[in-house]
Amino acid sequence: MLPGRLVAVIPRIVHPRFKRTDKIAFGQGESARPLRIFVDGETVPDSPELEILQKFANHGAVEVIGTDARFANLLRVGTYDARGAFTSWDIEFSGGGRLHSGVGGASTPEIGRRHSQPGQEARAERAMVMAKGAADHGADAFVTTDPLILNEAWVNDANPMSGGEAVALLGLFLRTREDFAIDIGDKWRYNFDRALFYWVLLRANLILRHMMSRGQPCRDARELVAILRNTIHQEALRTITWQSGGTRSERVIVPAGIETDLEATVARVGTPAAFGLSRQRDGRLYIDPGVYIEAILPSVFAALNGVMEATPVESLPGVNPAELLTAPPDDETFNAKTRQRIRLLGGIG
């Protein structure tokens, strides 16, 4: 990620703007397709995050495609053919199927060479072609640690991201389908229901100590939610559609009565742009709801932690301090590996 860039708990994904897309991973009914994840095996080492991606490759609604023997679906990227002006880009699927394709033109490998570190020209060329091919084939995530890919605007359509971000995206995808699986094998799966999943996630996240006094980070997190939430007692929030560069997006008009409070709170924790706020020519304040929600989630989780950690539950009526748990139980539901996996799927690394 670029220095100073706000890292979302769950990354936003980009759909190709210049070609028709009939089906998307987060679609409903006939417009839905599997979540498609490509992994740059040359830069991604073994990790708990990668283990989860490999496990969920057994899920019928998830496709995981990698570049080495750790992956059942194998991506092979060739070398640039100057005569044909293309680079071969092929997939061998675990079921025996094959996809023969290529990335056309000389510009993509040339960009890789031009922006590579000295001595890394071949690797950079291959990485750029790998990501461009993934974008052409509808990648919802391209997992890599290569700074060239993570920082290069030419491959944004491949949705480059870290392993942790890809697992968080996977978790969100599954939850939109009411699927709370946490482990999957060739012929078995381990499921929680909704309530148990979020209970384990909640308990796994009790880690910070903050108070809710005015001006403190946790109070600011509360205000970032409450200022807008309290408008439900007023006239409904209005939206406006913006269109630019062939893309359409929705903005919410911030009611004039809360503009000052919202801007003041945001100014204490970041910049207006990082929270999706912008004041336009008409003098009104607008908010991009997707950016705003992503920006406030980390501080909201921290505030919840602080309140729960600071609550003196041992003094509540009917509570026996000797019977209070000082740590999560180490049983099948709350063991360390399960808690870690649910945190990653829940987008809390």
Question: Concatenated DSSP letters for 31-52?
Answer: GB--EEEEE-TTT----HHHHH
Give the lowest-confidence range in 273-282, 314-323, 331-340. Answer: 314-323
Q: Which of 194, 246, 176, 186 is nearest to 25 (CA)?
A: 176
pLDDT tens digits, one per residue of 52-92: 999 999 999 999 999 999 999 999 998 888 888 889 999 99
Q: Give the pair of three-digit tokens for residue 172.
A: 């969100």
Mean pLDDT to the nearest integer, 2-18: 55
pLDDT tens digits, one per residue of 145-194: 998 888 777 788 899 999 999 999 999 999 999 999 999 988 899 999 99
Quick one: 335 exposed, middle or buried, by C-beta within 10 A (0-12, 13-18, 19+)?
middle
Q: What is the length of the chain?
A: 349
Q: Give the pair of three-digit tokens for residue 289.
A: 């709801």
Residue bearing tokens 């936003």: 12
Residue bearing tokens 């910070």: 208
Write phi, then psi, for 262 (nearest 5 degrees): -65, -45
Residue 210: band (very low, low, confident or very high) from pLDDT cuts 50, 70, 90: very low
Global confidence as pTM: 0.67
Task: Compute the distance between CA of residue 141 and CA of residue 239 in angstroms, rounded to an integer.
Answer: 29
Residue bearing tokens 């903005």: 251
